[in-house]
Amino acid sequence: MTTDPRPATSPSGLVLPITPLAEPGKEMPVVVRSPRRTKPPKHWIDLSIEERVDAVKEMGLPGFRAKQISEHVFVHHDLDPQNWTDLPKAVRGQVAEAWFPELLTEVSRQSCDNGTTVKTLWRLHGGSLVESVLMHYPATRHNSARTTLCISSQAGCGMACPFCATGQGGIQRNMATSEIVAQVLAADRLLESGAVPGAGRVSNIVFMGMGEPMANYKAVLAAMRTFIAPAPHGIGMSARGITISTVGLIPRIKALTEEGIPATLAVSLHAPDDELRDELIPANKRWKVDALLDAAWEYARTTGRRVSIEYALMRDINDQADRAAVLARQIRRRGDWTWAHVNLIPLNPTPGSRWTASRPEDQDAFVATLERWKIPVTVRDTRGKEIDGACGQLAARGRAEGVGV
């Protein structure tokens, strides 16, 4: 088989190897609009505050019951009306029937890293599988303790990134707001039971599980609003603790900029030049690096929140020091304030993948180049490796083992 010849000099002026990643003709399509199917029935969490009051009134109950129910949900993290002893038994049954369909069924739970990383595999209404990963970081001399939950926003993903196991599995469906939020409620409940010693509540939420959150914008935005709404109508978290990660759907980044929620935007860049990024992130064929970084810069300027540039280091693919310099220039020319922070992720090889993590010396040279340009940079620690809880690997095994569709 022949592969298309690559230009020695690319339009960006980079003279760097670009290895063809997908076999010609084997590329997957990018799917922004996910199939409409098997969403769960509407849940209490999906309703607005006013709709919740209307809902109880329609059941012939006094309006104050709405607040009482929301307290059980968002303050006590209890989604089973049968446990709510301050409601008459008949009312519990009625409420359960009308507004509390089962959202997430636990299929399995695994932990590693001395119990500080917990991955839960969930089955959704209709049979799709998704995962969330809880990571507790005890306090250090420099940082206070934090408990981060990595959540899914879609069953599968339509972005088709060739290095990501989820991306290679295709999209099944969007998740409902209630399904997104229920992952956090379940994690808080688990933490309350003392399952992770030293951890109190979820302090940070990252949309870095399965799915492309910006392709499920409406549900994700409603979930974010529920995370930050004060109790009892929401979880009462700080918007600063929420990170939304995207391959770069520019119109949605612009829409989020307008929302005025001071959450963190993470852009999965992985390459600073269109030639390589077109291959690593197929969505780049539509939304190019320059326009994406402009949108990210605008987000930082408007919200005052530093953008996180995600960059998975792949051996001999995107890890050359020259590319680090191109990345640094791309960031610097948009502003000399530290509007962006680069988060390097050692590639987590997916089963059967032909890429692997960078050599330590290449990673060090990449970091050193960014530091020379005074770009804030960190290398992400890779949690959950032994339980397939690491980036890009979620739920693939569950599907293979026949516990979901």
Q: Under the rule (CB under 6 A), what is the footprint of ligand SAH?
A: 157, 159, 163-164, 208, 212, 245-247, 268, 310, 312, 345, 347-348, 350, 391-392
Nearer to ligand SAH, 92 or 252 (CB): 252
Catalytic residue of the set 131, 179, 279, 310: 131
Q: What angle is formed at CA 163 by the lines to CA 161 and CA 166, rounded to 5 degrees?
A: 65
Nearer to ligand SAH, 190 or 269 (CB): 269
Catalytic residue of the set 179, 279, 310, 391: 391
CB of 347 to ligand SAH, least distance (A): 5
Nearer to ligand SAH, 99 or 163 (CB): 163
| Residues of the binding site | 157, 161, 164, 211-212, 245, 268-270, 348
CB of 94 to ligand SAH, least distance (A): 39
CB of 302 to ligand SAH, least distance (A): 20
Q: Annotated catalytic, 391?
A: yes
CB of 249 to ligand SAH, least distance (A): 10
Q: Annotated catalytic, 150?
A: no
CB of 350 to ligand SAH, least distance (A): 5
Q: What angle is formed at CA 228 by the lines to CA 292 and CA 139, rounded to 5 degrees?
A: 85
| Residues of the binding site for [4Fe-4S] cluster | 157, 161, 164
CB of 63 to ligand SAH, least distance (A): 39
Instruction: Report the residue closest to ligand SAH, judged by CB.
Output: 392
Residue whose token pair is 């962006």: 340
Taking the C-alpha atoms of residue 347 and residue 356, their distance in angstroms, rounded to an integer, is 6
Nearer to ligand SAH, 66 or 266 (CB): 266
Nearer to ligand SAH, 124 or 249 (CB): 249
Nearer to ligand SAH, 189 or 385 (CB): 385
Q: What is the SS3 string spanning the chain?
A: CCCCCCCCCCCCCCCCCCCCCCCCCCCCCCCCCCCCCCCCCCCHHHCCHHHHHHHHHHCCCCCHHHHHHHHHHHHCCCCCHHHCCCCCHHHHHHHHHHHCCCCEEEEEEEEECCCCEEEEEEEECCCCEEEEEEEEECCCCCCCCEEEEECCCEEECCCCCCCCHHHHHCEEEECCHHHHHHHHHHHHHHHHCCCCCCCCCCCEEEECCCCCHHHHHHHHHHHHHHHHCCCCCCCCCCHHHEEEEECCCHHHHHHHHHHCCCCEEEEECCCCCHHHHHHHCHHHHCCCHHHHHHHHHHHHHHHCCCEEEEEEEECCCCCCHHHHHHHHHHHHCCCCCCCEEEEEEECCCCCCCCCCECCHHHHHHHHHHHHHCCCCEEECCCCCHHHCCCCCCCCHHHHHCCCCC
| Residues of the binding site for S-adenosyl-L-methionine | 211-212, 245, 268-270, 348
Give catalytic residues, as residue numbers.
131, 391
